[in-house]
Amino acid sequence: MYRNKQLHSTTVSILLAVSGLLMATTAFTAGSAPHQSLDHSIVSAEIENTAILLRERALLDNLSVDIVESLTTEVGPRRIGTPGDKRAIAWAQDKFRQLGFDRVWIEEVDLDRGWIRGDAKAAIVSPYPHNIVLTALGYSVGTEGDLVGEIVEFKTLDDLEAVPEGDSLRGKIAFVSYSMRDYEPLPGESNMAGYGKGTRARGRGHVIAAKRGAAALLIRSVGTDTNRYAHTGSGYGYVDGVEKIPAAAISPPDAILIQNMLRRGKPVTLKMNLTSKITGPTRSANIIGEITGREGSDEYLVLGAHIDSWDEGTGAIDDGAGVGSMMAAAALIAQMEQRPRRSIRVLLFAGEEIGFYGIRSYIERHKNDVHEHIMGAEVDGGGGRIHTLTSGVGKNALPVVREIYKLIAPLGIEWSDANDAKGASDMSVLGKAGMPALDFAQNPNDYFDYHHTPNDTFDKIVPEDMRYLTAAYATFFYVAAELDVDFRR
């Protein structure tokens, strides 16, 4: 139930009228359906009205955007284990407290390895001299001085893998030129298929190339843009018994340039120099902020995002947008006169980018209280609006979730009947461990143009979209926290 001390009944009427107006605007803006009537035996009229007010207030509130601005300005890049990561952990605790969260704490995360990015330089030596824009893939070794080799192109990772193991690429630089931008999903494939194919080469390419004698791996950046940035990202690590070779991504225009040179039939020789270095164990933390439920704290809904980012941009869309929308959604609920029935926790995970370090540590620590996690969702796809909600809940709970959904449908959100959600990104680990989950699928906007590049900066956030995103989470999770439902059943 939502009561604001400043609100009298007249004010409520005015606000409801305004909210009706806003809903019309909302429906117009999002091209979506108008208000749907609720079954008041599932969601009471009081909760419904309060939820509508919350939603409309959230649509006018820039808090989620302000949080991203704060994180990207005051902290900036925050790759796990770096000074930026430490600043981010302090920042997040301060921000939770400023926003009125009831409990704030960290849970330490141990890392078996650290990494220094160093510098990355490359140039075509012949047939035509050119500087090449490239970036080391995460946890790549360096080149130990200049590495000079002839480039051998493979259109896909499969083509590279088709070369027999042994010495055939000895001294050569294997170049996988696969372009996510140009990939068209096959019938039945998801829109993410193009990214998945790219991350295969990013993750395993260096091992496959090394087994064939290659001196280094280059990939065309995994992204949808043609800007002259390289997209970094995580490899799956080195394998014992296989030579550790350097791995780097080059910008799309440089990939095209090299392909155009190769088309002329002359050998293309590259000189590259990476000063990257794998270092010893280090430490980070998951940061948790709780809005404690008025009926106690032993059950909680969880809203996830990851606090770490890659290190060349300021991590605005990946995943400042998640941090901003999740913190703001819970904070907007905390601004209400009373706490909802059950608790809401915002979980900011460490080290998502390098392989789910934070969530893996979290689940180890919380393996005996997964059942306390009533339901969860994560934002890790930028600040775009939600287009579809898919639940992953028990059969009895499904009509309840369907009913709550009606309150966010006017934000332009469709309903999917699949009920097979496991939760996005980190949260999928909890989903697979049995936690009921929700997938709020978002418009990607230009996510894969920017992510993992120096160009992932605050100006790429679209404020209106962030407000829509935040309003959906605040509204949905307020109602879910208010109802006494077991979402598992």
Binding site for a copy of itself (CB under 8 A): 69, 72-76, 83, 128-130, 133, 226-229, 252-253, 256-257, 260-261, 313-314, 453-455, 457-460
CB of 230 within 8 A of CB of 117?
Answer: no
Q: Which is nearer to a copy of itself, 43 or 250 (CB)?
A: 250
Q: What is the closest distance, in whole angstroms, from the C-beta atom of residue 414 to a copy of itself in the complex?
A: 31
Q: What is the closest distance, in whole angstroms, from the C-beta atom of residue 334 to a copy of itself in the complex?
A: 25
Q: Which is nearer to a copy of itself, 13 or 73 (CB)?
A: 73
Q: Which is nearer to a copy of itself, 4 or 227 (CB)?
A: 227
Q: What is the closest distance, in whole angstroms, from the C-beta atom of residue 353 to a copy of itself in the complex?
A: 18
3-state secondary structure string across the chain: CCCCCCCCHHHHHHHHHHHHHHHHHHHHHHCCCCCCCCCCCCCCHHHHHHHHHHHHHHHCCCHHHHHHHHHHHHCCCCCCCCHHHHHHHHHHHHHHHHCCCCEEEEEEEEECCEEECCCEEEEEEECCCEEECEEECECCCCCCCCEEEEEEEECCHHHHHCCCCCCCCCCCEEEECCCCCCCCCCCCCCCCHHHHHHHHHHHHHHHHHHCCCCCEEEEECCCCCCCCCCCCCECCCCCCCCCCCCEEEECHHHHHHHHHHHCCCCCCEEEEEECCEEECCEEEEEEEEEECCCCCCCCEEEEEEECCCCCCCCCHHHHHHHHHHHHHHHHHHHCCCCCCCCEEEEEEECCCCCCCHHHHHHHHHCHHHHHHEEEEEECCCCCCCEEEEEEECCCCCHHHHHHHHCCCHHHCCEEECCCCCCCCCCHHHHHHCCCCEEEEEECCCCHHHHCCCCCCCHHHCCHHHHHHHHHHHHHHHHHHHHCCCCCCC
CB of 343 within 8 A of CB of 481?
Answer: yes
Q: Which is nearer to a copy of itself, 319 or 456 (CB)?
A: 456
- Other C-beta atoms closer than 10 Å to the C-beta of 190 total 9
Q: Which is nearer to a copy of itself, 28 or 128 (CB)?
A: 128
Q: What is the closest distance, in whole angstroms, from the C-beta atom of residue 129 to a copy of itself in the complex?
A: 7
Q: Which is nearer to a copy of itself, 13 or 126 (CB)?
A: 126
Q: What is the closest distance, in whole angstroms, from the C-beta atom of residue 131 to a copy of itself in the complex?
A: 8
Can you tell me which residue has the tokens 């926790």? 345
Residue 344 dihedral angles phi and psi, to the nearest 5°: -125, 125
Q: What is the closest distance, in whole angstroms, from the C-beta atom of residue 92 to a copy of itself in the complex?
A: 15
Q: What is the closest distance, in whole angstroms, from the C-beta atom of residue 459 to a copy of itself in the complex?
A: 5
Q: Which is nearer to a copy of itself, 65 or 424 (CB)?
A: 65
Q: Which is nearer to a copy of itself, 7 or 125 (CB)?
A: 125
Q: What is the closest distance, in whole angstroms, from the C-beta atom of residue 453 to a copy of itself in the complex?
A: 8
Q: Which is nearer to a copy of itself, 13 or 260 (CB)?
A: 260
Q: What is the closest distance, in whole angstroms, from the C-beta atom of residue 406 to a copy of itself in the complex?
A: 37
Q: What is the closest distance, in whole angstroms, from the C-beta atom of residue 454 to a copy of itself in the complex?
A: 5
Q: Which is nearer to a copy of itself, 256 or 363 (CB)?
A: 256
